[in-house]
């Protein structure tokens, strides 16, 4: 059993408590600053230990790893504090809200050989994994374009959005840092890192906040030294359908991942129908349990990180460049 400290017992922290417990490979403790929430979550999951602060937790017990589930502006300072105690790190997305301290943290965890990963959970989706493997193997030839369209009604899924980090850019809020970052990280994982971008984003509909809830992004991805992939992404947080589709157009065929149908498809003959390649039944917690197991495997030195800090830093640069481009109205190098 690995001793896991979940820091922040809010929406995603509670899910990590539940999903790490579901692996039956983790003895989970909670660190939550809010007394009422700490008590509620501690009782709900019958936790043996819960703590008010990281200092208190580290003074009381030793942990194999921590899962950082606080708002994004706290991720880097908390990660430094935990790394100093040799704790492994699973850090929620986005890695941070600026690049400050990120290189130092990456050097620190490399120097101390601390297992660390960033919780871009889409990387656990078996349909996305399978589609990515086929693209990487070259079954459809070289990728040339990636297109994402999607959205969901954020107030329906997260009624408290006005009161949480989401309402403020400096805490990791807004559509670019909160939702689009998942989408871009998945795309970078398939077709390579974004090298330059131009973004348009605005607040259209969500009541009680003024951060952007609608984003359009155009990208170039470095596929190789000679070739690049063109990308376009359109995302909103107010449409009724909860849909997310990534399409990767390759030289000899097009592939598509439909998150909302848990499947991937291909189409290789002009004018022909899509062929469903693989479809999965995925329960709501399943990707998070897979993520927990992948991280526990990493702690057991069986695997590398599902998303390294360096990869998450690249996606952080995309977030920051997109926010800059919205202001400047210009292409930005990432």
Ligand X SMILES: NC(=O)c1ccc[n+]([C@@H]2O[C@H](COP(=O)([O-])OP(=O)(O)OC[C@H]3O[C@@H](n4cnc5c(N)ncnc54)[C@H](O)[C@@H]3O)[C@@H](O)[C@H]2O)c1
In degrees, rounded to 5, the angle at the alpha carbon of residue 90 between the alpha carbons of residues 87 and 92 is 135
- Classify the C-alpha dihedral 181-187-189-192 as positive or negative: negative
Stretch of 18-26, 29-37, 200-208, 253-261 lying at the interface with ligand X (CB under 6 A): 29-37
Under rule CB under 6 A, residue 7 binds ligand X:
yes
114 sits near ligand X (criterion: CB under 6 A): no
Among positions 4, 6, 8, 127, the unique one binding ligand X when judged by CB under 6 A: 8
Tell me if 41 contacts ligand X by CB under 6 A.
no
Cβ of 86: how many Cβ atoms within 10 Å?
13
- Give the one residue of 29, 70, 124, 237 binding ligand X; rule: CB under 6 A: 70
**Quick one: which of 42, 115, 151, 172 contacts ligand X (CB under 6 A)?**
172
Task: Name the token pair of 331.
Answer: 């292409």
* In the chain, beta strands by DSSP E: 2-7, 26-31, 50-51, 65-68, 88-91, 116-118, 143-151, 194-202, 214-222, 228-236, 243-250, 253-258, 263-267, 275-279, 332-333
**178 binds ligand X, rule: CB under 6 A:** yes
Shortest CA distance to 301 belongs to which of 65, 91, 104?
A: 65
Nearer to ligand X, 12 or 265 (CB): 12
Q: Which is nearer to ligand X, 182 or 256 (CB)?
A: 182
173 binds ligand X (CB under 6 A): no
* Contact between 179 and ligand X per CB under 6 A: no
Tokens of 42: 């501690």
Asked if 212 contacts 188 with a C-beta cutoff of 8 angstroms, the reply is: no
The nearest distance, CB 142 to ligand X, in angstroms, is 31
311 binds ligand X (CB under 6 A): no
Residues in the chain: 334
φ/ψ of 242, rounded to 5, equals -95, 90
- Count of residues that interact with ligand X, criterion CB under 6 A: 25
| Sole residue written with tokens 């692996």 | 23
Residue 93 within binding range of ligand X, rule CB under 6 A = yes
Piece of 69-77, 220-228, 247-255, 316-324 that binds ligand X (CB under 6 A): 69-77
Determine, following the binding rule CB under 6 A, whether residue 63 of this chain makes contact with ligand X.
no
- Is residue 186 near ligand X by the rule CB under 6 A? no
The residue number with the shortest CB distance to ligand X is: 10
Long-range contact pairs involving 300-304 (C-beta distance under 8 Å, separation at least 24): 301/115
Q: Is 212 in the site for ligand X (CB under 6 A)?
A: no
**CB of 205 vs ligand X, minimal distance in Å:** 20
* 150 touching ligand X, by CB under 6 A: no
C-beta of residue 265 within 8 angstroms of C-beta of residue 253: no
Stretch that binds ligand X, among 70-78, 134-142, 190-198, 246-254 (CB under 6 A): 70-78
Whether 174 and 211 have beta carbons less than 8 Å apart is answered as yes
Which chain residues interact with ligand X by CB under 6 A?
A: 7-13, 31-34, 37, 69-72, 74, 92-93, 119, 121, 164-165, 172, 178
């Amino acid at each position: 059993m690995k001793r896991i400290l979940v820091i922040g017992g809010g929406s995603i922290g509670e899910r990590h408590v539940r999903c790490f417990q579901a692996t039956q490979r983790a003895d989970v403790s909670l660190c939550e600053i809010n007394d009422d929430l700490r008590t509620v979550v501690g009782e709900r999951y019958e936790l043996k230990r819960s703590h008010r602060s990281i200092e208190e937790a580290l003074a009381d017990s030793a942990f194999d790893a921590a899962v950082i589930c606080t708002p994004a502006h706290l991720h880097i300072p908390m990660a430094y504090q935990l790394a100093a105690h040799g704790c492994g790190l699973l850090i929620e997305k986005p890695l941070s809200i600026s690049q400050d301290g990120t290189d130092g943290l990456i050097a620190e965890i490399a120097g101390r050989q601390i297992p660390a990963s960033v919780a871009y959970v889409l990387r656990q989706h078996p349909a996305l994994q399978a589609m990515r493997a086929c693209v990487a193997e070259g079954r459809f030839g070289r990728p040339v374009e990636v297109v994402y369209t999607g959205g969901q009604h954020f107030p329906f899924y997260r009624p408290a959005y006005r009161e949480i980090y989401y309402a403020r850019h400096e805490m990791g809020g807004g559509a670019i840092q909160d939702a689009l970052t998942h989408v871009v990280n998945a795309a970078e994982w398939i077709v390579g890192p974004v090298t330059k971008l131009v973004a348009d984003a605005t607040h259209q509909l969500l009541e009680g906040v003024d951060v952007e809830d609608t984003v359009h992004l155009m990208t170039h991805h470095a596929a190789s030294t000679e070739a690049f992939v063109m990308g376009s992404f359109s995302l909103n947080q107010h449409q009724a359908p909860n849909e997310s589709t990534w399409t990767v157009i390759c030289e000899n065929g097009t592939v598509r991942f439909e998150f909302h149908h848990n499947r991937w498809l291909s189409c290789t003959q002009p004018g022909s129908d899509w062929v469903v390649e693989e479809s999965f039944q995925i329960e709501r917690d399943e990707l998070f349990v897979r993520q927990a197991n992948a991280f526990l495997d990493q702690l057991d030195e069986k695997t590398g990180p599902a998303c390294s800090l360096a990869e998450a830093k690249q996606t952080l640069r995309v977030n920051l460049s997109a926010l800059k481009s919205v202001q400047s109205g210009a292409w930005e190098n990432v």
